[in-house]
Amino acid sequence: MPRPYLPHGVIPAVLLPFDNDLAIDEAALRKHLREVAATDGISAITVNAHSTEVASCTFDEQRRVLEIARDEIGARLPLVNGIWADGSLEAARIARMASAGGAAALLVFPPGPFTLGQSPQMALAHFSRIAEASDLPIIVFQYPIASGQGYPPDTLLRMCEEIPNIRAIKDWCGNLQQHEWHVRTLQGLPRPVNVLSTHSAWLLSSLVLGCNGLLSGSGSVIPDLQSALFRAVRGNDLAEARRINERIYPLARVFYSEPWSDMHNRMKEALVLLGRQKRAVVRPPLAKLGDAEIERIRQALLDSGLLRREPGRDAA
Q: What pLDDT is attached to residue 316?
A: 39
Q: How many CA atoms lie within 13 A of 277 on its CB side?
A: 30
Q: What pLDDT is attached to residue 313?
A: 52
pLDDT at 310 over 80: no
- Pick the closest to residue 88 from 57, 105, 66, 113 (CA basis): 113
Q: What pLDDT is attached to residue 315?
A: 45
pLDDT tier, 4 (very low <50, low <70, confident <90, very high otherwise): confident
pLDDT at 70 over 70: yes
Contact assessment for residue 140 and residue 127, using Cβ atoms and an 8 Å cutoff:
yes
Backbone angles phi, psi at 12, to 5 degrees: -65, 145
pLDDT digits (tens, 9 = 90+) for 160-209: 999 999 999 999 999 999 999 999 999 999 999 999 999 999 999 999 99
pLDDT digits (tens, 9 = 90+) for 231-240: 999 999 999 9
pLDDT digits (tens, 9 = 90+) for 116-158: 999 999 999 999 999 999 999 999 999 999 999 999 999 999 9
Question: Which domains does the chain possess?
Answer: 9-241 (3.20.20.70)
How close are the terminal C-alpha atoms of the chain, in Å?
A: 61
pLDDT at 2 over 50: no
3-class SS letters over the chain: CCCCCCCCEEEEECCCCECCCCCECHHHHHHHHHHHHCCCCECCEEECCHHHCHHHCCHHHHHHHHHHHHHHHCCCCCEEEEECCCCHHHHHHHHHHHHHCCCCEEEECCCHHHHHCCCHHHHHHHHHHHHHHCCCCEEEEECCHHHCCCCCHHHHHHHHHHCCCEEEEEECCCCHHHHHHHHHHHCCCCCCCEEEECCHHHHHHHHHCCCCEEEEHHHHCCHHHHHHHHHHHHCCCHHHHHHHHHHHHHHHHHHCCCCHHHHHHHHHHHHHHCCCCCCCCCCCCCCCCCHHHHHHHHHHHHHHCCCCCCCCCCCC
Say how far apart CA 205 and CA 115 lie, in whole Å.
28
pLDDT at 1 over 50: no
